[in-house]
Amino acid sequence: MSTTTALECKNLGFIGIGAMGRPMVENLAHKLPTDAQIHIFDVLEQAVIELCAQYPKRILKATSARDVTEKSSIVLTMLPESPHVRTVYLDPTDGISSHPPLFTPSSPKLLIDSSTIDTATHLSIKQHLTTTLPPSSFTFYDAPVSGGVPGAINSTIAFFLGCAATDPNLPLLTTLTSLMGKQIIPCGGASLGLAAKLSNNYLSGVIAIACSEAMNMGMRAGIDPRVLADVYAAGTAQNAICDRFNPVPGVREGSPANHGYRGGFRVQLMKKDFGLAVQMAERVGAKLVLGEAGLKTYEGASGDERCEGLDSRVVYRYLGGEEEWEGKIGE
Ligand code: NAD
């Protein structure tokens, strides 16, 4: 099966014009066919007004999620947490599904949620849509992303799609998401994009803590952190956090640690995703030995004023790691 297909959609909707949503919409504005329009909505009206002013006639202001749905055959959502997603899809007055006659089997709508939320909420929204809207009038997918704000700006984010590799909509989903991202991975079925994203962030979060602890102990024993990073890279501990996002300042080029942990993936988002992953593990009966300790660590770092709002690898600072090591260690 071909992995791409022509994108014939002339009216696309996007709800949630925040840190991720805004650059994703801008990429769509640059890359969609010239006759396509994007209808956008956010509860923060200013974000909508600014973006519409930047792309007149291409990006148009909508007044609610329902208004976006009325005007669009494909609707993407990029919202903070489960309650926001629930409101946008299910609010009986203004939600996407609030007016079932907008949905017809003759021109089914594609609904795609890229927010990182829990799998149970996604499945319950899907169930609700299935019971409220006419049969065959829509398809609803989870499509969370990884790669952060820089990835959203440079269209290098990865999309984890909640569908099978044989899904008939996969070519269209791939074409659409490729305008905003680089790697598009179908994860097997409904809510499995989210399950993949949460397990990925659990792993990445645990590695960041382990890397911070290991660097801290090695440095306290007297080893230069650059040597430590080379040792891990050469040995069985090799990992992307150590190589590309090393939590110790001045060890690896491009790491947020080098500029006061600014940029990167906010520790508050890691706390949220880590908590969702722990919940999912509990729901599916997967035993975790590091879950509770990891969650406590990210909760602590999120509430610590030295770490708040910074890249999640600031966990090294939270654990008491030496940041001003140059001239003190390994020379
Ligand atoms: P954000 O808070 O910057 O943006 C979310 C937007 O949704 C805001 O503008 C907010 O006003 C809007 N919103 C909230 N409720 C709404 C409603 N009822 N109707 C319309 N708009 C509403 O968040 P973000 O950083 O863009 O993240 C969005 C999602 O992507 C989250 O689930 C996050 O976990 C995930 N994510 C974020 C990053 C990142 O680095 N920021 C990376 C990967 C995934």
The single-letter code of the amino acid at 21 is G
Catalytic site includes residue 10: no
With a pLDDT cut of 90, the percent of the chain lying above it is 94
DSSP codes, 207-239: HHHHHHHHHHHHHHTT--HHHHHHHHHHSTT--
Catalytic residue among 197, 287, 296, 328: 197
Largest CA distance in the chain: 72
Provide the residue count of the chain: 331
Q: In degrees, to the nearest 5, what angle opens at C-alpha 299 toward C-alphas 297 and 305?
A: 100
84 CB near ligand 1 (under 6 Å): yes
In this structure, how many other beta carbons lie within 10 angstroms of the beta carbon of residue 60? 17
Query: What does the pLDDT read at residue 4?
Result: 47
Task: Answer whether 115's CB lies under 8 Å from 146's CB.
Answer: no
Query: What does the pLDDT read at residue 164?
Result: 98
Query: What does the pLDDT read at residue 2?
Result: 39
For each of the domains in the chain, give its residue range(s) and CATH number, in order of start: 3-190 (3.40.50.720), 195-318 (1.10.1040.10)
Query: What does the pLDDT read at residue 1?
Result: 37
Query: What does the pLDDT read at residue 264?
Result: 86
Query: What does the pLDDT read at residue 330?
Result: 67
Q: Residues of the chain whose pLDDT is less than 70?
A: 1-7, 330-331
62 CB near ligand 1 (under 6 Å): no
Within 13 A of 134's CA, how many CA atoms are on the CB side?
12
Residue nearest to atom 34 of ligand 1 (CA): 116
CA 81 to centroid of ligand 1, rounded, Å: 7
